[in-house]
A and B are shown apart, each in its own frame.
Chain A
Amino acid sequence: MTPVFLVRRLGLLAAALFGVSLLIFVLLRLLPGDVATIVGGVQATPEQLAVLRERLGTDRPLPVQYAEWAGGVLTGDFGRSMLNGVSVTDELARKLVVTLPLTLTAAVLAVAIAVPLGAYAALRQRAPDGAAVSALGQLGVAVPTFWMGIMLSVVFAVQLRLLPAQGFPADGWAEPGRAAASLVLPVLTLALAQAAVLLRFVRSATLEVLQADFLRTARAKGLTTGAALLRHGLRNAAMPVVSVLGIQIASLIVGAVVVEQAFSLPGVGKMLLADVGNRDLVKVQGTVLLLSGLVLVLGTVIDIVHRLADPRLRDTP
């Protein structure tokens, strides 16, 4: 990989982060509604509201507000909640201990499900079981995440009483077993939704590789089809799947917001929805920036990994 590429890619990341922060800030200011009327209540007089706005800082010019916020973010300070004055950084850290394990485990599980099943569906393309796996994947794409979550709850929590359907221990990870148990169904819901999308890409990538000339060459050297696929096919099939994985991260995070709501998990997503309702702009913009930043950073990492893994890309500037 050329240093030029690395510098350019990281420059692009920085520019994107800046653009996103600006966009988030401006879009939120366009929203109707005023946090002062929520803090002050319906009976507040215009004078009281003016005082509140001054205290919250929402009466100052927008560029000043943006500069103060962005400057703080650069030093790790996401500001304070407009509603109760709590540090947004602390709040996010508290919620991430739920959201990060949820999304990361779901992502790993999705790959672990999609890669073998997708490859199997491709290898057995003409057989009924291969077609069944493909159809199941299609179904998984079509089913909404929240519905899948509800169904899993009904079966495993309500009927079988194996796992908790809702919530997360109030003391967090103090009891790891209980905390983990409450994440099983949400992780499964999120992972299945992601795996269904990924499965289709794994299947088509495998099909493409199976028809590739170099796989025939590998067999002509003396390998069986299976051995040729393992030695020559897998890495080639992985390339397009890795690209898709980079794009999938965004939908994984959107999915996390839905799943946290469905399972009433105290994660970043659930907090975000509540804060939007309260017009707590400082918290909302901090949360959205963190989530979009996560998507951009992981996207960049995957881009760089893709470069390292493919010699054809490695040589291009």
Chain B
Amino acid sequence: MRLLEVEDLTVRFGDSTVVAGVRLSLGAGERLGLIGESGSGKTLTALAVAGLLPPGAAVTGSVRFEGSELLGRRERAIAPLRGAGIGFVFQEPLTALNPLMRIGAQIGEPLRIHRGLSRRAARGAAAELAARVGLPDPERIVRAYPHQLSGGQRQRVGIAIAIAARPALIVADEPTTALDVTVQAEILRLLTALVEEEGSALLFISHDLAVVAQVSRRLAVMRAGRVVEEGPTLDVLRDPREPYTRQLVAAARATSWNPQETPS
């Protein structure tokens, strides 16, 4: 049994089909990079997996997580899986955090929801998680508010929230796109190291081939709502079959990046 099996996933908003028959599969502890330009449907695919699509979206197909079908379930039945089974890291760390809530309460919330931890116990756990994601002075930072943190620190908070309840799958949706280049590398290293330690699977979404190649050995390329190519990262990069993938590789080379240097 695979950890996550997505079959024939289709997402429609009114008359427009934004995800058209996507098929993805991820085993326990595996990593998959999902790449494509903006509007290709990669983010909506990830959101559809956990029932996080905005209202008005019509979803068909099949999403099985740990063997059980998620599509068509009521929100009350899917919500307990979010955070505990599937953790999310989002693109914009500032807007993804509640501006009026202390960092510690936000990091500890998944534990309060899924483990029934008391406020005090969750605060203690939040400080430990803050230390694990490399936030400086964790005891102080859990009492801070999001606007008092830097962009990189906020994304560390986002990662701490995602791993708090130790989910088997972490979905990271463009987690470094909103960050400075120097901070991007740190966050990427942190995310991959934590996924390694936890033994979680990772679905990593990006428009940046160079970033995806650093994170995962398997790659799926999305365009206009479909997966157009899938395979081991190195094979796809060295010998892209689809014209669109070739364009992506050429674009990445143009910014002086060499796929041969990618760790295998």
Contact = CB atoms under 8 A, between A and B. Distances in A.
6 contacts: A217-B96, A217-B158, A222-B81, A222-B165, A224-B75, A315-B148
A219 B52 contact: yes
Contacts of B75: 224-225
Interface in A181-225: 211-214, 216-225
A235 to B, nearest CB: 5
Contacts of A126: 55-56
Contact of A222 (B84, B100, B158): B84
B66 interface: no
Interface residues of B, number: 34
The list of the 6 closest CB pairs from A to B, nearest first, reads: A222-B83, A213-B95, A220-B88, A311-B145, A221-B83, A222-B113
B80 to A, nearest CB: 6
Interface string A270-289: 00000000000000000000
Given A220-B50, A220-B88, A222-B110, A214 B96 contact: yes
Nearest to B91: A213
B121 interface: no
Main secondary structure of the interface of A (DSSP, over half): helix
B241 interface: no
A218 B96 CA distance: 9
A312 B82 contact: no
B100 A217 contact: no
B95 A235 contact: no
Given A236-B99, A236-B100, A311-B100, A213 B113 contact: no
Given A214-B97, A217-B90, A222 B82 contact: yes
Interface of A: 126, 211-214, 216-225, 227, 232, 235-236, 239, 309-312, 315
A241 to B, nearest CB: 14
A311 B109 contact: no
A2 to B, nearest CB: 15
A311 to B, nearest CB: 4
A214 B82 contact: no
B203 interface: no
B161 interface: yes
A315 B158 CA distance: 23
